[in-house]
A and B are shown apart, each in its own frame.
Chain A
Amino acid sequence: MQISKQKKLEMLRSLLLSRKFEEALTELCKIENKIPGMMILCTGQEAVGTGVCAALEMEDVIITNHRSHSHLLAKGADPKLLMAEIYGKKTGCNKGKSGTLHLAVPEINAPCTTTVVGGGPPIAVGRAFAQQYRKEKNVTVCFIGDGATNEGSFHEAVNLASLWSLPVLFVCENNLYAGAQRYEEHTKVRNIAERAAGYAIPGVVVDGNDALAVYTSAVEARARAVAGEGPTLIEYKTYRWRGHGESDLQLYQPKDEIEVWQEMCPIPKLRDELLAEGLISPDELGEMESRMDAIVKDAILFAEESPYPEPHEALQDVFA
């Protein structure tokens, strides 16, 4: 598949923004009482959100999960509003109600994030049903991890999506860990994608650290869905650099394994390719990096300077 220069640069930009955003969060989490709650990061997995969202139109919908930063940034969420929400500030995209784990950005068609493992697929089915009901030529993407595919809700949802030929992309980021369990300890099939056969839908395995391969596979699955041919289960093989929360010491994860995967980092992979093809010069790359740094700095400044909500605002937004 021919991928335009603009698309490739857009993906590199998205990878860099996501990485810098999360690297900043890693540092902020080390400062006591700076960031409330848990902090679950997708560092190292950015090629999935980047590649998939690059294949989407604005009207396409994403339903994401607890490792959502990269998905949301790639879909076009405002980093300032995300950061303020992560800080628990009034100016955050959800007025401080969601925190980092449940970021919802309806403006970019990311109406809800669920942190209940396996919660996303049934909702994605409903959202895609609405697209089919209204004869929209759009799709819903459901981002899940490998662990979520062991929830019953995943199987109910895929079955229904297949049965009704709903325009859904079940995007599984197989990062080899679910909580503190290695993939082999929680799932017997070698590839999650094999499960697609049980629902008579295509299941594909793709290198999840290769943004261009991710993009290509998502374009194909999207085309199928829009054509009324139903859902696809795409398994992206990737790796979880950070733990299940920044307080997780990752004692169950071999150090050399982490290093091997860090060698396969999605950013240099795309960057070097673009440099070699002459699609970006070293100077332009430096400029792009500085711009992403500035965006993240601005977001942090905005969050720091924003006020907290008033306690009584906790009572708002329960009912419409």
Chain B
Amino acid sequence: MSQFEPTIVAFVCNWCTYTAADLAGTSRMIQPSNVKLIRMMCTGMVDPKYIIRALLSGADAVLVSGCHPGDCHYINGNYKARRRVKLLQEMLAQFGIDQRRLKLTWIGASEGNDFARTVAELVEEIRALGPSEARAVPAL
């Protein structure tokens, strides 16, 4: 198969989405292997420069995923993350980086199925979008 296999980096919070990913695992929910998780304690600690770096380094998409509104283990880290992702989406769109390449989701600890579905859909979406332009640009 020569279809394009995107590389997707996911910054996920320990308490909700990472736990959901674990649950998807224990529930044996088959997923494409393109999404790789970086475990953070909270989406509120995801510095915008991590996301920019990931995209410049050739990640075809970045997923930021944390707890649902009101459920944040740290009260409101997810709301701060949402503003930062919003800011980046606005910025990056200027440079032809499709907004779908930076996705924010809320996936609660019990939502293993949502995690698996999100991964599958995201991979599908990015496959259709094609490789990130950053792969071909020699500048970081």
Is B one of A's binding partners? no
Q: Which residues of A contact B (CB under 8 A)?
A: none
Q: Which residues of B contact A (CB under 8 A)?
A: none
